[in-house]
């Protein structure tokens, strides 16, 4: 009974807002942020240690907003980040007569919610926007798979191989953020824009990390470490590209009667 009632309330609220042209929605594309400090993906000089990173991470979101009087705007931002990092070392070591293939694949999902309030200044088709928000982030479990192989250069026979899995527990962060951006209204109800948002967060990430190792030179081993990160130590910078749609009021959508 509660779910149908909640759905009906949401539909009624959207319908009520849409009676005016103050309600809108936007789609967002933003930079994902990797807060989990895994040694594989936090090496300063990638070109020196012969490791190359392939980053397929992305962030998608949507934003609901309601325009109040005096150029004031309420907004609710929802987002999803997918972290996908592949680091590879693939090289010949001629001095040892071997070929090394070492790679680690790390994946994680993050979910974001941020209510906020902002203000805007308009001139012709351009708007300058700015305000504050309260970002709340759920940081999912970080899973890392590492594979290592060595081959002889002379005959491609296997020298050594190992396989490891690392699982870092999920966590959360919450804090205060600001945003500043612009909007260009190129159609009556459609706009495009971009914004930059720094935030200071209290976070509680990680915890009891489980590691499983298997290698050709030893049997399966399991180990556990405490890799928690807690406190006001998380500073994030988010940059997003936006497409806005401002819903026309029901009155404006009605077709005039011709007598």
Cα 49 from Cα 105, distance rounded (Å): 17
State whether CATH 2.102.10.10 applies to domain 2-253. Answer: no
pLDDT at 21: 64
Q: What is the mean pLDDT of the chain?
A: 80
> What is the average pLDDT across 8-16?
47
d(CA 217, CA 231): 41
pLDDT band at 249 (very low <50, low <70, confident <90, very high): low
Angle at 244 between CA 242 and CA 250, to 5 degrees: 165
Q: Residues near 235 by Cβ (< 8 Å), separated by ≥ 6?
A: 198, 199, 200, 201
Instruction: Note the pTM of the prediction, 2 decimals.
Output: 0.78
Domain residue ranges of the chain, discontinuous segments joined by +: 2-253
Pairing type for strands 218-226 and 229-246 reads unpaired
pLDDT-derived band at 18 (thresholds 50, 70, 90) equals: very low
Work out whether the CA dihedral 167, 234, 133, 190 comes out positive or negative: negative
- Residues 205-226: tens digit of each pLDDT: 777 777 787 777 666 667 777 7
pLDDT single digits (tens) 144-194: 888 888 899 888 888 888 888 888 888 899 999 999 999 998 887 899 999
Question: For residue 11, what is the enclosing H or E element?
Answer: helix 2-17
């Amino acid at each position: 009974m509660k779910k149908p009632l909640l759905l009906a309330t949401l539909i009624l609220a959207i319908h009520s807002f849409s009676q005016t042209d103050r309600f809108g929605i936007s789609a967002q594309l933003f930079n994902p942020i990797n807060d989990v400090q895994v040694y594989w993906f936090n090496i300063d000089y990638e070109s020196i240690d012969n490791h190359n990173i392939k980053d397929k991470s992305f962030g998608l979101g949507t934003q609901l907003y309601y325009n109040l009087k005096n150029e004031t705007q309420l907004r609710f931002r929802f987002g999803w980040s997918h972290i996908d990092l592949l680091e590879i070392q693939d090289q010949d070591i001629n001095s040892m007569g071997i070929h090394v293939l070492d790679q680690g694949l790390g994946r994680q999902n993050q979910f974001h919610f941020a209510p906020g309030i902002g203000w805007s200044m308009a001139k012709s088709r351009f708007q300058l926007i700015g305000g504050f928000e309260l970002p709340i982030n759920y940081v999912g479990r970080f899973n890392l798979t590492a594979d290592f192989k060595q081959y002889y250069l002379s005959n491609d026979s296997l020298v050594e191989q190992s396989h490891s899995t690392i699982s870092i527990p999920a966590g959360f962060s919450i804090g205060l953020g600001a945003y500043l951006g612009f909007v260009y209204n190129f159609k009556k109800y459609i706009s495009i824009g971009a914004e930059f948002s720094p935030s200071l967060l209290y976070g509680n990430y990680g915890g009891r990390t489980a590691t499983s190792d298997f290698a050709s030179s030893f049997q399966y081993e399991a180990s556990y470490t405490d890799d928690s990160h807690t406190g006001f130590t998380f500073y994030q910078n988010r940059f997003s590209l936006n497409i806005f749609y401002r819903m026309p009021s029901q009155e404006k959508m009605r077709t005039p009667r011709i007598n």
